[in-house]
Structure 1
Amino acid sequence: MARPPKNQAPDLTKAIDITTGSIERLVCPLGKPQAFLRDLKAPGLRVRVTANGAKSFVFEAKLDRQTIRRTIGDVRAWKIDQARVEANRFRVLIDNGEDPREHDKIQTAAKIERNIEAERSKTTVGEAWIAYLAARKEHWGTRHYEDHKRLAKEGGTPAKRGTRGTGKTKPGPIYALLAMRLDELTPPIIEAWAVEQGKERPTYGRLAWRCLKAFLAWCAEDREYKSLVDAGAAKTRKSRDAFGKAGQKKDVLLKEQLPAWFAAVRGLPNATVAAYLQTLLLIGSRRGELLELKWTDTDTKWNGMTIRDKVEGDRQIPLTPYVWSLLDALPRINQFVFASTRKKDQALSDPNSAMETVCITAGVQGLTLHGLRRSFKSLTEWLEIPAGVVAQIMGHKPSATAEKHYTVRPLDLIRIHHERIEAWMLEQAKVPFKRPDAVAPAPAEKAKEPTLGTDKTDKRPSSQKDPGVKPVL
């Protein structure tokens, strides 16, 4: 076939062997928005020219009796041979019954997903840990959330105690893992970490290990991280054995130790700390729950208070007379009942040092703040209080079907038992306390037998009958 002259536009009615020159001479006929020059070597390949002179390679074919077009690219970016290869690829797809447009969309989406997956694989444990805390914060109590933050603290800040002479705080157990990629948390890595933490601080490390297991379980259920983690990476026997078995805590306050302990607590110079420690024993709550108690949680009308329960959300317990006398005497510094005098708008921090001082003074070694909660439960055994009542006061879940589904105790019924517990503890501790609503016994009850010369029908006022009471003048 003779080629047209170099200054003549190619004939659009015939397929030709497309060359660079024919593309250059290609023009769009007047009055048409676009025109196509067909290639002879690659069936389906076209060069499209628009009215404004833009030129590009396109593929055109019929699929299911419909004409489809797929743009390949600008003629300035694609070489003719490259365009023919691409057109032939599209031709193969057509022969297989596939639409090149949909096929490319799927391929593009897959490529984007691979890129995203590649970026996601670079996610560090620290980034996922921050996302984990943000997602779970509304489901946790304040103290539980702060515990997780402390587990991942960097450390190195000046501190006055608990640093073994270094003068700086130590990093949290989880901090050593934060810089790693999330997909690097394999069983061998976690086992090595567990061995190191188990040697240095087994108790705190065991807490971190339990939190790490919960974190990995959350990642395994999250759409963004589930492909990067092994949910059972921290559940191996070696990582569990690295911390050893947790010893059973048996620190408890005995009945005969109550006088010395109460005397030491009541002798503390800080009235807020003294009130906190006594209340902690008398209501058996968790130490963090009591620290979060606010003035709005106390109800003096119905003599109750609301405890923020980490299990059930909150629970109502009686506001017993002696406990209320302790709380009512405290200054109202901020919203918290046990307010900090050093930190504005915050509650008291754990008074561990004060507790140690009290135990040394009272001669009760090894008693912890949580030991006071254990003491409450143990001391109630002396009074044979129903176990369900004690559990409801302390915030333990019911352990029996009847207790869980069939026993409903109103606050007034709980109050009867709780006030009895408080009165017995104060009696054993020899703490002088007279209930504000207590009524003194009538004079007639003091003397059952009439004295000599006393007329039983005497109508004089009682103040004149009892020589111990002077008449009001």
Structure 2
Amino acid sequence: MQKSSSRVRLTAGRIESFACPVEKAQVFLWDTDTPSLALRATPSGRKTFVFESRLNGATIRMSIGAPADWPLERARSRAQTLKMLVDTGVDPREVERQQQADKVQAARDAAARSLTVSDLWPTYLTEGRPKRRAAWKPRYLSDLKKMASAGGEKKKRGLGLTRSGPLYPLQALALHEVNEDRLKAWYDAEARSGEHQAARALMMFRGFLRWCAAQPKYRGLIDRAAGSAPAIAENLPATKRRTDALEAAQLPGWFEGIQILPNQTAACYLQCLLLTGARREELAALRWAHVDFRWKRLTLADKVDATRTIPLSAYVSNLFKSLPRVNDFVFASQVEGDHIKDTRASHAKALQHAGIERLTLHGLRRSFSLLGEAAGAPAGAIAQVMGHKPSATAEGYRPRSVDALRPFVALIEAHILATAGIAFDPAQEQPALRVVAS
């Protein structure tokens, strides 16, 4: 029977013949040439080279490897290297753990450096959001997706396939490759097709860079300032502030064009945009549960605050009552369970009928403000109804109650309807509305 531990000069033959008795858990055969090296055997027949030494009064034992993988001389060299570490007061186990940790970190760094814009873009669309908002606006989110789309899909309208979005060429770049030179070359190429579209795409991509810079795991991979470099910023087109709004003389024709639209939901929606000054997304997402006919008020989602409650005027109330209750939304879409999305086509027909060259949906919101001033309503009341951020300018803004706002909303509505030549009696709230000849 072999002893559980003995010392001989290890050779290939002795390694081959060494075995562990079945009654023992393990046995060791120590090498005389390299005293810190031993061959360990177990009853299962498994053999392993091991290193053993003492450091600070404690025994250190480490596995080196199986003889099939480690030739004897290589095992001796490994044991000698480990012994040198121990002799200098270094625990080789800690060295090995650190080396393993370094390998893991190196692998993570390599994986991180291989991350491309396209890898993170879906996460950005899901987790990213603009300042002071819980989520993207639906239309802006749709634009983000289109800007980065590969194209090649069948057009929903017209013939042919869709084109790739302006941000698509950036999708293949690794994050660490996004720098001033790359963005400058991309922007110059896109600007040849349309500088304003390229500038908007750049603004969107800057948002992506800011989001990446705010994430600790991506911060070191991205150059947040790349999109704002002078070489790019100096070539951006001048921003033109939109000032489109309805003129008083245009109101009769506009209302007439709206009221002959075949889509009555769109017609009501467009009139309510003008008469409430609401943002188009706020009004489109209005639910019946947030319309209080009894106390004549409605609650809208708000850009600045979570919600805002404003008076429900007589004419707008009458428009609401004329709509069928298809689902939870006041302005229901033909898509089951959804609300109206895009009324630009309907608005374009009304503008064509009225002979108005151009007016955006946001221009209706701007029109409410201008017409409200013309009606004599205080600037603070107009701002509060529209959901503008409070300001201490003008009349010395202070929040008003819904009841305090009600006379001003009625005043603005009466002024708009009178200017448009709309015959409407607020006391009766008759369902039959018409434009009368001026």
Q: TM-score, normalised by structure 2?
A: 0.89
**Change in 2 beyond 3 A, CA 1:141/1:27:** same
- The residue aligned with 2:434 is none
The alpha-carbon distance between structure 1 residues 390 and 94, as it changes in their structure 2 partners (threshold 3 A), is farther
Is 1:33 aligned with 2:29? no
Q: Is the 8 A contact 2:245 2:366 kept in 1?
A: yes
Conserved 8 A contact 2:2-2:21: no
**8 Å CA contact 2:6, 2:28 repeated in 1:** no
| Paired residues for 1:399-414 under 5 Å | 399-400=391-392, 407-414=398-405
Tell me if 1:47 matches 2:30: no
Per the alignment, residue 304 of structure 1 pairs with: 297
Give the secondary-structure state (helix, strand or coil) at the position aligned to 2:227.
coil
Q: Does 1:433 align with 2:424?
A: yes
Aligned to 1:74: 66
Question: Partners of 1:380 and 1:299 in 2: how far apart?
Answer: 23
- Deviations 1:399-448, CA, capped at 9 Å, x for gaps: 339999x933222222222121111111111111111468xxxxxxxxxx
| Residue aligning to 1:322 | 315
Q: 328, 332, 337: which is aligned to 1:345?
A: 337
Q: Which stretch has the larger CA shift, 278-287 or 375-384?
A: 375-384
Runs of 4+ in 1 over 6 A off after TM superposition: 8-11, 401-404
Of 167-176 and 253-262, the range deviating more from structure 2: 167-176
Q: CA deviation at 1:238?
A: 2.8
Aligned to 1:146: 142
Alignment of 1:115-126 (within 5 A): 115-126=107-118
SS of the residue 1:53 aligns to: coil
Aligned residue in 1 for 2:220: 227
The one of 293, 304, 308 equivalent to 2:286 is: 293
Question: Is the partner of 2:9 in helix, strand or coil?
Answer: coil
Q: Does 1:131 align with 2:123?
A: yes
1:172-187 equivalences under 5 Å are: 172-187=165-180
Q: State the distance in 2 between where 1:402 and 1:280 align.
A: 24
Give the equivalent residue in structure 1 for 2:347. Answer: 355
Residue equivalent to 1:205: 198
Q: Distance in 1 between matches of 2:128 and 2:255?
A: 40
CA–CA distance in structure 1, aligned partners of residues 153 and 404 of structure 2 = 50
1:324-363: CA deviation from partner (whole Å, max 9, x where unpaired) = 111110122222222223x333322322222222223223
Query: Residue 225 of structure 1 aligns to a residue in which SS?
Result: helix
Letter in 1 for 2:325: R
Q: Distance in 1 between matches of 2:196 and 2:288?
A: 34
Structure 2 equivalent of residue 467 of structure 1: none
Task: State the shift of 1:70 in Å.
Answer: 0.7
Q: Residues of 2 paired with 1:60 and 1:400: CA distance?
A: 79
Counting aligned pairs with the same residue, the percent is: 39
| Residue type at the aligned position of 2:190 | Q
Name the CA distance, whole Å, in 2 between partners of 1:363 and 1:236: 44
CA contact (8 A) 2:166 2:190 kept: yes
Amino acid paired to 2:398: T
Matched length: 425
SS in 2 for 1:208: helix
- What's the counterpart of residue 15 of structure 2? 23
CA contact 2:379–2:395 (8 Å) conserved in 1: no
> Which residue pairs with 1:271 in the alignment?
264
Question: Alpha-carbon deviations, 1:245-284, whole Å to 9, x = none?
Answer: 1112121112232222222222223211211111111111
Distance in 1 (alpha carbons) for counterparts of 2:395 and 2:237: 35
Distance 1:199 1:312 in 2: 40
Matches within 5 A, 1:409-420: 409-420=400-411
For 1:31 and 1:19, the matched residues in 2 are separated by: 25
Distance 1:248 1:11 in 2: 90
Matches of 1:54 and 1:157, distance apart in 2: 61
The 8 Å contact of residues 4 and 26 in structure 2, kept in 1 or not, is answered as no
| Alpha carbons of structure 1 residues 330 and 201: separation in structure 2 relative to 1, 3 Å | farther
Distance 1:398 1:270, change over 3 A: same
Residue 393 of structure 1 aligns with an amino acid whose one-letter code is V
CA apart distance, 1:128: 0.2
The secondary structure found in structure 2 opposite 1:234 is: helix
Task: State the Cα distance separating 1:58 from its structure 2 match.
Answer: 0.8
User: What's 1:156 paired with?
Assistant: 152
**Separation (CA, whole Å) in 1 of partners of 2:198 and 2:296:** 42
Which shows bigger deviation, 135-144 or 94-103?
135-144
Whether 1:377 aligns to 2:369 is yes
Q: Secondary structure at the match of 2:299?
A: strand
Give the partner amino acid of 1:310.
Answer: K
Is 1:238 the counterpart of 2:231? The answer is yes
Structure 2: where are the runs of 5+ without partners?
Answer: 430-438
Does the CA-based 8 Å contact 1:195-1:243 persist in structure 2? no
Measure, in 1, the Cα distance between the counterparts of 2:201 and 2:301: 24
Quote the offset at 1:67 in angstroms.
0.4
Query: C-alpha root-mean-square deviation of aligned residues, in Å?
Result: 2.6
Q: What is the CA deviation profile of residues 373-417 of structure 1, one whole-angstrom value per residue up to 9, with x for unaligned ones? A: 11111222223433232222212212339999x933222222222
Deviation of residue 203 (structure 1)?
3.1
Amino acid at match of 2:153: T
The aligned residue for residue 191 of structure 1 is 184
Deviations 1:42-67 (A, max 9, x none): 34222112233321111111112100
2:115 & 2:71 partners in 1: Cα distance? 40
CA contact (8 A) 1:273 1:351 kept: yes
The CA distance in 1 between the partners of 2:161 and 2:145, in whole Å, is 18
In structure 1, C-alpha distance between the alignment counterparts of 2:252 and 2:281, rounded to whole Å = 26
Q: What displacement does 1:153 show?
A: 2.4
Q: Secondary structure of the equivalent of 1:263?
A: helix
SS at structure 2 position matched to 1:139: coil
Structure 1 stretches lacking a partner, 5+ long: 1-7, 439-473
Q: Relative to structure 1, is the Cα distance of residues 243 and 347 closer, same or farther in structure 2, using a 3 angstrom cutoff?
A: farther
Given candidates 42, 51, 60, the residue that maps to 1:59 is 51
> What is the letter of the counterpart of residue 105 of structure 2?
E
Matched residue, 1:112: 104
SS at match of 2:38: strand
Name 1:283's counterpart in structure 2: 276
Paired residue type of 1:159? K
Structure 1 position 136, deviation (Å): 2.9
2:76 pairs with one of 59, 76, 84 = 84
Distance 1:66 1:20 in 2: 31
